[in-house]
């Protein structure tokens, strides 16, 4: 019974591994200083320092709510009591996520600026940053995140998430079964991984 539980736990854990955790670390890249400076101008135009946390939080919540609306379908979510629980959970998400965003956003934005230097030449970055500093550019970049909350975008996203839900469930179950079968066929791997599963459940 213990082995069976371990197999199931390990197979389920495979579904929770973030792709970033599986990616190999690349060699350190140091962008040219002038390119990085222009990239940061673009980031500042898109996400002003004094507003960026709230802008990103609002976008994340908007997409999260759209995903929830698409995924949480069927009789169980029509039940008033369960709907009230899920509504309360979604309402609490912004404050739950705020400390995480505050901690990670500086690094994410620094990485985004770095990514811009990979993608665009110095001339292109200067063109973009010049546009970003015009009234039209400032308005465009400042409102870019809001488009996720537009009713038409929200409706389109919800439809996609609704269609994605059964595909995701089937795909996740297929992956879990494949991992489970592999562990059953390779008991040495199971015995090696069991301690890690035990630590994760404590």
Domain segments of the chain: what residues? 31-170
Identify whether the C-beta of residue 46 lies closer than 8 Å to the C-beta of residue 131. Answer: no
Is the model's pTM score more than 0.75?
no
- In this structure, what DSSP letter does residue 159 have? H
Report residue 55 as tokens. 């802008």
- Only one residue has tokens 């400042």, namely 142
Under the banding of pLDDT at 50, 70 and 90, the label for residue 134 is very high
Helix H or strand E encompassing 139: helix 135-144
Tell me: the pLDDT tens digits for 47-93?
888 888 888 788 777 777 777 777 777 777 777 888 788 888 878 87
Q: Is 48 helix (H, G, I), strand (E, B) or coil?
A: coil
Instruction: Enter the tokens of residue 54.
Output: 């709230």
pLDDT at 16 over 50: no
pLDDT of residue 110: 92
DSSP 17: -
Residues 6+ apart with CB under 8 A from 68: 86, 90
């Amino acid at each position: 019974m213990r082995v069976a539980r371990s197999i199931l736990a390990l197979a389920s854990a495979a579904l929770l591994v973030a792709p970033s955790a599986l990616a190999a670390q690349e060699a350190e890249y140091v962008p040219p200083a002038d390119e990085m400076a222009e990239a940061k101008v673009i980031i500042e135009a898109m996400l002003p320092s004094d507003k960026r946390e709230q802008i990103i939080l609002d976008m994340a919540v908007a997409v999260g709510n759209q995903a929830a609306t698409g995924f949480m379908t069927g009789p169980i979510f029509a039940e008033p009591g369960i709907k009230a629980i899920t509504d309360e959970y979604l309402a609490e998400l912004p404050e739950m996520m705020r400390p995480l965003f505050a901690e990670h956003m500086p690094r994410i934005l620094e990485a985004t600026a770095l990514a811009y230097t990979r993608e665009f030449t110095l001339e292109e970055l200067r063109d973009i940053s010049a546009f970003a500093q015009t009234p039209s550019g400032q308005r465009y970049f400042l409102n870019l995140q809001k488009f996720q909350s537009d009713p038409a975008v929200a409706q389109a996203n919800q439809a996609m998430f609704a269609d994605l839900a059964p595909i995701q469930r089937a795909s996740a179950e297929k992956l879990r079964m494949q991992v489970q079968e592999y562990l059953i066929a390779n008991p040495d791997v199971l015995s090696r991984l069991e301690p890690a599963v035990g630590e994760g459940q404590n």
